[in-house]
């Protein structure tokens, strides 16, 4: 099995300091959290940023400032979110791709998202895929529902995305696909040969899905974007604490954890 790639999703767009006071918000806090996660074994940093009021933003300036601060401390794979927050205009979501991060997310379809709708029209998908090709950014296909895999493969047929693709199954979002092992196997079995995949379980689903992924040869994403608890009723102290637990699990289950360079090789990232 490939060494395990751990992604740390540090911030997200929805979680607040009120929900978990340990949530990093400022560029400095986010960079420190990224460094701690990297030290524990995370090789990808999935990045959202916030403005001065703590609100989600796709500001290229704030992304740049945050990435520069991270890179002063360490060199993980930076994966910018193009999902942003529900309702962020597509042009704003696309803008940070100009920073040419190694990776960025691409959600290949529209999905109910709690009481909102996370819109990704067919035209939006083309715009994101074209921009990623233009800037040489490797997409991570965010899959909230099964049809999103078909949509990604349609983009491959149209020459807008290249195989092999890397997918992230985001399971357990209220309004979207549930987070059981049957759902995970269904999605995994839909992927073309040579694909890589990771799993992001929302809330209490984070830990069981991580276990399945470690055993099935997938990869794992954890962090406050997906889950703010360490265990039932106990808030996590840091993103690094959640990463550290995955490293421990991988050790127990005899799966080596990827270094950043190994992760780059697995994901065919050219530097």
* Residues engaged in binding ligand KMH (CB under 6 A): 12-13, 81-83, 85-86, 105, 107, 113, 118, 142
Q: How far is the CB of 21 from ligand KMH (least distance, A)?
A: 21
Q: Is 7 among the residues that bind Zn ion (CB under 5 A)?
A: no
Question: Which of Zn ion, ligand KMH, none lies near 142, with the C-beta cut-off 5 to 8 A by kind?
Answer: ligand KMH
97/133 Cα distance (integer angstroms): 10
Q: How far is the CB of 82 from Zn ion (least distance, A)?
A: 9
27/43 Cα distance (integer angstroms): 19
Q: How far is the CB of 13 from ligand KMH (least distance, A)?
A: 4
Torsion region of 118: left, alpha or beta (phi above 0 gives left; psi -120 to 50 gives alpha): beta
Question: Which of ligand KMH, Zn ion, none lies near 168, with the C-beta cut-off 5 to 8 A by kind?
Answer: none
SS3 45: strand
Q: How far is the CB of 233 from Zn ion (least distance, A)?
A: 25
Smaller CB separation from ligand KMH, 82 or 198 = 82
SS3 36: helix
Smaller CB separation from ligand KMH, 63 or 118 = 118
Give the DSSP letter of residue 164: S
- How far is C-alpha 213 from the chain's CA centre? 15
147/168 Cα distance (integer angstroms): 14
Pairing of strands 6-9, 44-47: parallel
Among residues 7, 66, 81, 196, the one that binds Zn ion under rule CB under 5 A: 81
Q: Which stretch binds Zn ion (CB under 5 A): 50-58, 74-82, 146-154, 207-215?
A: 74-82
Task: Compute the radius of gyration of the chain from its Cα atoms.
Answer: 17
Query: Which residues are near Zn ion by CB under 5 A?
Result: 81
């Amino acid at each position: 099995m490939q060494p395990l790639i751990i992604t740390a999703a540090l911030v997200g767009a929805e979680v607040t300091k009120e929900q978990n006071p340990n949530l990093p918000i400022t560029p400095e806090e986010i960079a420190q959290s990224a460094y701690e996660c990297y030290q524990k074994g995370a090789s990808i940093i999935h990045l959202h940023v916030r403005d001065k009021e703590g609100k989600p933003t796709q500001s290229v300036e704030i992304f740049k400032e945050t990435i520069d601060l991270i890179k002063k401390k360490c060199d993980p794979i930076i994966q910018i979110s193009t999902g942003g927050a529900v309702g962020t205009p597509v042009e704003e979501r696309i803008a940070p791709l100009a920073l040419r991060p190694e990776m960025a997310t691409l959600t290949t379809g529209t999905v109910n998202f709690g009481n909102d709708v996370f819109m990704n029209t067919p035209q939006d998908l083309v715009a994101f895929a074209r921009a990623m090709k233009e800037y040489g950014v490797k997409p991570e296909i965010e899959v909230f529902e099964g049809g999103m895999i078909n949509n990604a493969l349609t983009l491959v047929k149209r020459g807008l995305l290249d195989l092999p693709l890397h997918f992230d199954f985001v399971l357990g979002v209220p309004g979207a696909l549930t987070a059981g092992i049957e759902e995970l196997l269904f999605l995994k079995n839909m992927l073309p040969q040579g694909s890589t995949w990771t799993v992001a379980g929302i809330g209490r689903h984070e830990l069981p899905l991580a276990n399945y992924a470690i055993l099935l040869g997938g990869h794992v994403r954890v962090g406050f974007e997906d889950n703010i608890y360490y265990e039932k009723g106990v808030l996590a102290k840091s993103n690094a604490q959640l990463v550290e637990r995955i490293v421990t699990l991988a050790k127990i289950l005899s799966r080596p954890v990827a270094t950043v360079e190994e992760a780059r090789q697995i994901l065919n990232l050219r530097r």
